[in-house]
A and B are shown apart, each in its own frame.
Chain A
Amino acid sequence: MTKVFFIILQLILFLLAAPLLSGLISKVKNNIRMRRGQSIFQPYYNLVKLFSKEEVVSGDSSWIFKVTPFIVFSSMLTAAILIPVFIFSPMHQMGDFLSLIFIFALGRFFMALAALDTGSSFGGMGASREMFISSLVEPAFCLVVFCVFLQFGSTDIAVFSGVHPVSICSFITAIVLFMVTLAETSRIPVDNQETHLELTMVHEAMVLEYSGRSLALIEWSSYIKQMILFFLIAQIVFPVNFSGLWILWYFVWIIIIVIAVAVVEVFVAKMRLFRVADFLGFAFVLGVIAVVCAILGV
């Protein structure tokens, strides 16, 4: 019974705290640029605004367009209860690291379908770019999984919390996961969240047709995805063993990751689309090094 309570608590945490991280990132970014910037609660205001707005749906769209926001949102919530935050293994043996990747892929697949569904030119462009990037992201992400598997003998996410000392291998894995996170959450070297310029946008082009409540759901699920990936990085670099002040450690690590993402966003220029292949190829090679380190046991 306590387990159910903790799972519900975890869901509520992810639902409520995920937009805060985005607000925090933009605040840190603006502080680095010597600007005052928007409030860190701005994502919440945006969500409230979008929820209270009327929705416009293209007449040519099919049921896929209407159903996609819910699929994306629920897949992200499913992913959110798979990772251990409050208790050791929330969904014991039901979900592991690989299933997390495929749950992400499910959401992305429906997003691409919905972007193609309305037949607008931007949607198709965004979908094709997103698929290009995700096909490059997935090998690196899978190597992270293999690395975890080689180190701990299981791909269950709960296994690698609380058992291992910090090693070079886990450090490299965390860097690979960081690069993957930048690509997955459409952060700057790969994609730019802030612009609506048709040359640069990937994720924004896909959701261009959405408005009102559906857009709010999609935005919210992308915040949750970002938070899940941050928690995974924190888990791999600093495994918590669920005793004492582990919540505090989580907090510290998430703050560090937020600052790292903000610094990368400020100081790195956005790449051309075809340079993204080099960026993610580098992540892949780092992943191979991590696997070799896992085999060597360093």
Chain B
Amino acid sequence: MPRLPEPRFVPDCAILVDGVEVPARAGESVAVALVAAGRPLVSRSYKYHRPRGPFCLAGSCGSCLARVDGQPSLRTCRVACRDGLRVETQNAFPSARHDLLAVVDRATPHGLDHHHLLTSPVALNRVVVEVSRRLAGLGRLPDRAPGPFPAATLETFDALVVGAGPAGLGAAEALAAAGRRVLVAEQAPRAGGRLRAGLPLRGEPPLAWAAEVEGAVGRAGGELALATAALGLWRDGGSPIAALAAEAPPRLRLVRASVLVLATGGTAVPPVFPGNDVPGIFAGRALAVARAEHGLLPGARCLVLGEGEEAAAVAARLAGGGLEVVARPGPALLARGRARVRAVELAGERLRCDAVAWVTPPAPAAELARELGARLELLPALSAFAVAVDAEGRTGVPGLFAAGEVTGPLDGAAAAAAGRRAGEAALRG
């Protein structure tokens, strides 16, 4: 059973995947519809033609790419379904499920050393260059132009908050309460960040708080912009400028603000063990969100892998409604399966499952801070770098603040508080 048996989750349209109808709900992502339809395999990978499917369901991992409506390599977890939407799998011959080119995977057990592959004689090397060129590349040229897009607007706000998770909401609330015009940019179609997972974690603010903040931001002349992703921060003209890609309607917004609060949270990091890329392995938080918002059941039997309070909460959240859940702290030694995961081997144990929820602290999404030259610090346990901040979220770069998981792992309540402190510090200048 692919979805929770509730009226609001009943499919109301169909998308066409390689010409075959797949039931979907208008507005949900193509990736969610595919997983709900029991086909987590979306495409083939770049080099080895390995099966690839969604992992993060949040636009960051890039493993859910397909050709949609004639546009190559779109992240299907960021494309909304509508009736008749054409989805084509990529980089596979004849189809993603049965790809003859997967012979590359089987023929190179120790990997493909493309640097030293058949370098001589010259004539043979020329053939290698030609053949490998044909095999490389993912999508084909677009059929037509996307858009049309209107001319980009140049806007000014008192503050730009990137991310509408607990930290971003906290910062926006503090700024709006003092009458500041704030633009909150959130790449997801809904506000709340990790609060959307509905995990009953200690001290976390309720998701309804997001709506309150949105109201306060609006009353102060600001805006909470959903489905609006920050593409980067540059310094054209000497002061930071952000480019935001808004999805509905699609357009580019250029924003200058004297205060920037980065509350971009973390990026789901895939597990590391043999078979870690088999379709059907998902970020735990993403599955919890998809269940709450789309009634998605990732399979019939889901292994929740991970330690700590959050893993337990994810397991509790996913169980029921027709999904059997087993939870293990790990470490996993091997995932088996091709088109989708079949079993996971752990020390002394082999667990059958058709989905895996991987729960681990996310890696700080520190890219925007790096673009403006903020100092980072290593988190040895995650082997990731977090934005270094003082107690008030100052990064050392004038006007640039950071709060929440982008500064290292912390729980939702602490993130909201950190966001608030950063917002208040920004008010003091």
> Do chains A and B interact in one complex?
no
B interface residues, Cβ below 8 angstroms from A: none
